Structure 1
Amino acid sequence: MKKADIGIAVYLLAAVMFFIIPIPSILLDVMLAINISVALIVLFNALFVKEVLDMSFFPTLLLFTTIFRISLNVSTTRLILATGEPGNVVETFGQFVGSGNLIIGVIIFIILVIIQFVVINKGSERVAEVTARFTLDAMPGKQMAIDADLNTGTIDEKEARVRREKIQQESGFFGSMDGAMKYVKGDASAGLIITFVNIIGGITMGVLQQGLELSESFGKYTILTIGDGLVSQIPSLLISLSAGILITKVSKESDFSSVLVRQLFGIPKVLYIVGGTLCFLGITTPLSKLLFIGLGLAFVVTARSMQNTLAVEAIEEEVDTSEEQADEIRRPENVVSLLQVDPIELEFGYGIIPLADVNQGGDLLDRVVMIRRQIALELGTVVPIIRLRDNIQLNPNQYIVKIKGIQISEGEILFDHYMAMNPGFVEEEVIGIPTFEPSFHLPAIWITESQRERAESLGYTVVDPPSIIATHLTEIIRSHVAELLTRQEVQNLINNVKENNPTLIEELVPKLLSIGEIQKVLQNLLREGISIRDLLSIFENLADHATTTRDTDVLTEYVRQTLKRAISSKYFPSNETTSVVTLDPNVEKEIMNSVKQTEQGAYLTLDPERTKKIIASVEEETGKLENLGKASIVITSPIVRMYFKKLTEDYFKDLVVISYNEIDSNVELQSVGMVTG
């Protein structure tokens, strides 16, 4: 056991034993001195601690000191009633603090009890209750602020975790303090009751058992009881004061004393006024001239000194600021920091700032958090932190999206308007400002708040500005998610799988495949919108086939066949026949004959004229699907799929190419055409 553990155990055990075993007056004197010492230590710790959480165990400490102090009360009561000699400390407090006068001692004791009950206990209890309530009420807002700082890049994941833990600790601490203040109040009440019991019991013992006169017995036992009350009430008062200081402490950056002195004497103007007022009172009234004029002059001199100090501090601060700026310019790291490129950035003009400002009711930051969660659930990859920045060089209502520092797309919104889009079947028009929806470039119009209800009743799809930006950003992330998947992120994904499947990872990495090769397979899947959430199945398949080939394109095709249920559910609705386009076997054979294998991978050497005819045929056949309102899906044989995808991806952005081996057995297909070329 640690020494601290032994010390705490002995402290509590002694408190319990004092209830049961009588202790001699010499040992009682030692324990009372220790009790006063502990109370002083607690008081000054509460005074000078920088943050309340530095004394997070204060509620428990309050309970320990309370039970120890009450046990001493019981011991002194036993000695007072049994022997009339409770020791030096109790007798000294009864005679010296009360000046040897019974009436003065009683009055001082009553005053201490009033201060304890009416001032400190009542005020501290109320502050603890209010602080606990407001701390709990503020928790959701603080959590949202942390999420907002995390999304804007102000803090990292580690700092966010530390802040969340601190919020939880604060709520737990102030909640405990709300209850712990009842200990203080109960301790004071118990001390008061014990005092009255001691007086009555002492007089009774003196008269009936010791044969003392009533007045003699009253004087003797009342003095001892008042001494006992004072020796217990003073530490109790110190502990109550400590609790009050701790729960009312606001400063988190500096020592309490320095902050308090600066706030009281930090404004020279105030000291000048106070000094002048005291001098005026000393001159014009019968008050002591020496005292009031002297004190007034002292305040004036202090104000003058403080004014000079503030002037010097202002100059030093200005010099330090200039030196820091100069050092920042000269510092080599200043150039290095400019080389960092954010994976995703959303920059917007000043007219859009209210959408991202929580204080103005904006929820764009919350929507960014939801985008990252949505992509994680949909595609199984973690999107990097999305930086949100205002850019005064943009138009007020303009925003741009950058991927790795390069602008990918832009849009423009009207802050106080809504975007209304005709789904295709609404005939009645709504008057507004013509525009295009930024995500899919569909025709739309801007309408006002007053027109929103009517547009919705007519069948228009009405969207608010934050949803427009969020949808646009989501589509951009989906289309570029493959290039956002870094080797480090792949390593993190591998570590997640390794926690429950260490054997698989030990077999696969790095014995069969490197991190870079696994990254390329995952990027190939993400590039075509295939989710990589089922990493266990993906890695199992890679481990099965990496022994025969390390071609990442071929491995991707094997993985796709493993994920056929996910692919089928994504493109082929159940209990419904899906219209597709097939690929002519002759074209497939022609494509395979044009494949050339190199160390850098496979590529097609197809004649440009043949390529042109195949692309034209694809356009014609997929046009039939578009006319039916269906997605453009081409079905090929497994060996041709990836080459045909490479052939067409530069011409058809949304063309889905699937092999027969990637289709579940219960899927029903209907061919509406064939690509012949």
Structure 2
Amino acid sequence: MKNRNVAQMAVPAGVVAIVLLLVVPLPYPLLDLLIAVNITASLVILLTSMYVKRPLDFSVFPSLILVFTLFRLGLNVASTRLVLRDGFAGHVIEAFGHFVVGGSLVIGLVIFLILVVIQFVVITNGAGRVAEVGARFTLDAMPGKQMAIDADLNSGLIDEETARRRRADISAEADFYGAMDGGSKFVKGDAIAGIVITAINLLGGFVIGMAQMGMSASESVQKFSVLSVGDGLVTQIPALLLSVSTGIVVTRATAEGDMGSVAAKQLGQSRQALQIAGVAAIGLALLPSMPKLPFVLVGASLLVASQRIKASEARTAAAAAAEAVVPAAAPASDTPEQLIEQMRVHTLEVLLAPDLVDLVGTGPEQDLLARVRGLRRKVALELGIVVPPVRTRDSVDLPRATYVVKIAGVEVGRGQAPQGQVLALGDDLAALPGTAVTEPVFGLPGKWVPAEMRHAAELHGATVVDRVSVLITHLGSLVTQNAARLLGREDVRQLTEALKRVNPSVVEELVPGVLTLGEVQRVLQGLLAEEVPIRDLARIYEALSLRAKVGTDVEGLVESARVALGPALTAAHAQDGVLRVLTLEPLLEQHLLEQLRPGEAGTQLLLDPQRMDSLLSQLRHAAGRAEAEGRSVVLVCAPAIRPALHRLVELGLPRLPVLSYAEVTGAGMTIETVGVVSSGHAIAA
């Protein structure tokens, strides 16, 4: 706690002290100390920038650039005051001047100008350009990164806390590169200021030396040139270190380790490159008049390094071969058990074309199997069912880049995920190369573009999705649509036993005395068929216990469970606490009640084709108008006709939910009528 308080006070006090440097004269011993602090701190910043694993780990760097730029300018002003007033600005500046100038003033000035050119023209300009481009690219890539996080969250690969942390990292990264873009301008301005201040010291000192100190022209030039060059060096060297630090930070493109470790690993990844470079160095030594020893030493070192890499590769290959050696598989026998296993129909399968096998195990965020595990968890938390294990295998019968999803051996969907490409979703994709497709879940227009065109697609306003996310999103949609088929009798037994452990009275009252496990399964399947979650199993069983005393018809049991889940159903379709509904005109609703007939699959509406088409057309028009306004709507009707009306609406509007008055009235939220469907036309509210 005490150290933190010191740090909180030290930084503001330091900034105030730096400002005072601009106006308060300093004695030269204190100036020597501050110059030493400046040089050492700049070296620390340079080394820190080399050892950070990612730029965000050094997020305070842009602020440090501003503070140390102001610090150097304050030292410049203080040293200039001493140079022009006393002709002496401390031992550090004098030592730097004599060391560089030596016996030749011309050589000293040339070396100083070369350092200025290196910093200003090469490093500072380059770092500033990289920071500018990095800031622009980071800001442009933010929407795509946010979409990727949302895709991972929706597929269940990450939880809400991880998604929140990643979004914060993206925002911090954008802020960092934006600040670095501005910070690089401070470094560039500091370099210009250093040149101007050195010129002022040189010319002003020459005049003061002759006019006020009584020196000759040669003595004045000699004395003040040493001081001016020394003053320029003690500020330009820290500025050069800070410029290099800026360039290192903004050009980091990896988070695998510090710069030294990553550079050594990547420079040594090609044995052939080291061998060719070594032979070339030795070849240069054979040229006439070329010194032999330096090139021979360098070439021999590269050849020795290449041999060490070769030995390391051999050991790695031997270890891999040893792990790959497995006992020879016993010849397949035709025992009944093995034949039965081969005959077994898997509940859920994903078949991949041979060129899509790379989707399995390509990385922590792209591994298909890991994403499938996340999807199973997501579906369990949303729908309340345990999705059976997904069997993933390749099939040579599939076309290239094709995957197929099967449920109980029957294909329910297929799509494409071309290797080396990403899916760009948007309306304006004509300028991008690739194959135009329709996204399989939402029917959005898209185009498969090369992976290296990802950034270009984002610049065109497209949402870019990787191959695994496309497959997982499609699989999740198919699982949700076919959840009723995936819920087996054994799954219902496991869910019932799990509920019995926490709420035994509800289960004992319902199963098996009132309803059999098969009847409960049919009710749960009926709920899942309409994408109603069955997570609140206790409330569902309580409603079934009451309704089963009246009758055990499946449709009635499903409706009683839906009424019990009414608040949850309504909340799923509400926006900001408001449920926007379409209703039926009383005359139309009465007509539908009169046309209601019982059937083996439940109640049915016996409408003539013309009236049926008219009803669906009106609903489609009303729902489309609300959707165009960005509003989600549901159709509300009398409880008696809801199941039959849902079956009818599902034929033409599968995404329009149909709720009953009983489900809506108990939700306790604001209801807004956006349209009334009459026997003749849809009336806007």
TM norm structure 2: 0.58
What's the CA shift string for 1:500-554, capped at 9, x where partnerless?
xxxxxxxxxx9xx99xx9xx9x98996696999xx9xx9xxx9xxxxxxxx9997
Query: Could you tell me which residue of structure 2 aligns to residue 85 of structure 1?
Result: 88
1:410 to 391, 409, 412: 412
What amino acid sits opposite 1:37 in the alignment?
Answer: T
What's the CA shift string for 1:576-617, capped at 9, x where partnerless?
632222699xxxxxxxxxxxxxxxxxxxxxxxxxxxx97589
Residues of 1 paired with 2:391 and 2:43: CA distance? 52
Q: Are residues 1:220 and 2:232 paired?
A: no
Query: Could you tell me which residue of structure 2 aligns to residue 392 of structure 1?
Result: 394
Q: Are residues 1:622 and 2:634 paired?
A: no
What's the CA shift string for 1:368-425, capped at 9, x where partnerless?
9xxx9xxx9xxx97899999997535865784465xxx77972568999xxxxxxxxx
State the 1:29 CA deviation: 0.6
Alpha-carbon contact 1:577-1:669 (below 8 Å) kept: yes
Query: Could you tell me which residue of structure 1 aligns to residue 432 of structure 2?
Result: none
> Partner of 1:2: helix, strand, or coil?
helix
1:249 to 252, 261, 264: 252
What amino acid sits opposite 2:121 in the alignment?
Answer: V
Residues of 1 paired with 2:150 and 2:601: CA distance? 50
Alpha-carbon contact 1:191-1:233 (below 8 Å) kept: yes
What's the CA shift string for 1:614-652, capped at 9, x where partnerless?
758986x73257784269x9999x9xx79x989x999x9
Residues of 1 paired with 2:636 and 2:239: CA distance? 84
State the 1:470 CA deviation: 9.3
Q: Are residues 1:7 and 2:10 paired?
A: yes
When residues 574 and 7 of structure 1 are mapped into structure 2, their CA distance, relative to the original with a 3 A threshold, is farther
1:95 to 67, 76, 98: 98
Alpha-carbon contact 1:583-1:634 (below 8 Å) kept: no
Superposition RMSD on alpha carbons, in Å? 5.9
> Partner of 1:572: helix, strand, or coil?
strand
Alpha-carbon contact 1:95-1:101 (below 8 Å) kept: no
What amino acid sits opposite 1:410 in the alignment?
Answer: V
Alpha-carbon contact 2:646-2:658 (below 8 Å) kept: no
> Partner of 1:577: helix, strand, or coil?
helix
Residues of 2 paired with 1:570 and 1:284: CA distance? 89
Q: How does 1:45-444 map to 2 (within 5 A)?
A: 45-316=48-319, 347=350, 350=353, 391-393=393-395, 399-400=404-405, 410-411=412-413
When residues 86 and 562 of structure 1 are mapped into structure 2, their CA distance, relative to the original with a 3 A threshold, is closer
When residues 82 and 529 of structure 1 are mapped into structure 2, their CA distance, relative to the original with a 3 A threshold, is same
Alpha-carbon contact 1:400-1:410 (below 8 Å) kept: yes
What's the CA shift string for 1:84-116, capped at 9, x where partnerless?
221111111111232253222211111111111
> Partner of 1:410: helix, strand, or coil?
strand
State the 1:280 CA deviation: 3.3
State the 1:561 CA deviation: 11
Alpha-carbon contact 1:93-1:231 (below 8 Å) kept: yes
When residues 627 and 272 of structure 1 are mapped into structure 2, their CA distance, relative to the original with a 3 A threshold, is closer
When residues 321 and 218 of structure 1 are mapped into structure 2, their CA distance, relative to the original with a 3 A threshold, is farther
Alpha-carbon contact 2:281-2:298 (below 8 Å) kept: yes
Q: Which has the higher mean CA deviation after the structures are superposed, 30-39 or 298-307? A: 298-307
**Which has the higher Rg, Structure 1 or Structure 2?**
1
Residues of 1 paired with 2:284 and 2:53: CA distance? 40
Query: Could you tell me which residue of structure 2 aligns to residue 581 of structure 1?
Result: 593
Alpha-carbon contact 1:283-1:289 (below 8 Å) kept: yes
> Partner of 1:270: helix, strand, or coil?
helix
Query: Could you tell me which residue of structure 1 aligns to residue 494 of structure 2?
Result: none
Q: Which has the higher mean CA deviation after the structures are superposed, 99-108 or 116-125? A: 99-108
State the 1:315 CA deviation: 3.4
Query: Could you tell me which residue of structure 1 aligns to residue 461 of structure 2?
Result: none
When residues 171 and 216 of structure 1 are mapped into structure 2, their CA distance, relative to the original with a 3 A threshold, is same
Alpha-carbon contact 2:279-2:299 (below 8 Å) kept: yes
Residues of 2 paired with 1:297 and 1:415: CA distance? 49
When residues 274 and 475 of structure 1 are mapped into structure 2, their CA distance, relative to the original with a 3 A threshold, is closer
Alpha-carbon contact 1:347-1:401 (below 8 Å) kept: yes
Q: Are residues 1:43 and 2:55 paired?
A: no
1:572 to 561, 583, 590: 583
Residues of 1 paired with 2:102 and 2:183: CA distance? 35
**Aligned residue pairs: how many?**
503
Alpha-carbon contact 1:581-1:634 (below 8 Å) kept: no
Residues of 1 paired with 2:293 and 2:190: CA distance? 46
When residues 226 and 173 of structure 1 are mapped into structure 2, their CA distance, relative to the original with a 3 A threshold, is same
> Partner of 2:584: helix, strand, or coil?
coil
When residues 37 and 114 of structure 1 are mapped into structure 2, their CA distance, relative to the original with a 3 A threshold, is same
Alpha-carbon contact 2:31-2:75 (below 8 Å) kept: yes
Alpha-carbon contact 1:275-1:296 (below 8 Å) kept: yes
> Where in structure 1 are there 5+ consecutive unaligned residues?
324-343, 358-364, 417-437, 440-465, 487-509, 543-550, 585-612, 671-677
> Where in structure 2 are there 5+ consecutive unaligned residues?
327-346, 361-367, 419-439, 442-468, 492-502, 511-520, 544-556, 617-634, 652-656, 666-670, 680-685
When residues 246 and 345 of structure 1 are mapped into structure 2, their CA distance, relative to the original with a 3 A threshold, is farther
What's the CA shift string for 1:198-225, capped at 9, x where partnerless?
1122122222222222221221112111
State the 1:301 CA deviation: 3.0
When residues 569 and 135 of structure 1 are mapped into structure 2, their CA distance, relative to the original with a 3 A threshold, is closer
Query: Could you tell me which residue of structure 2 aligns to residue 597 of structure 1?
Result: none
Alpha-carbon contact 1:152-1:385 (below 8 Å) kept: no
What amino acid sits opposite 1:222 in the alignment?
Answer: S
When residues 66 and 382 of structure 1 are mapped into structure 2, their CA distance, relative to the original with a 3 A threshold, is farther
Alpha-carbon contact 1:28-1:72 (below 8 Å) kept: yes
When residues 219 and 270 of structure 1 are mapped into structure 2, their CA distance, relative to the original with a 3 A threshold, is same
> Partner of 1:306: helix, strand, or coil?
helix
Residues of 2 paired with 1:661 and 1:269: CA distance? 73
TM norm structure 1: 0.59
State the 1:227 CA deviation: 0.5
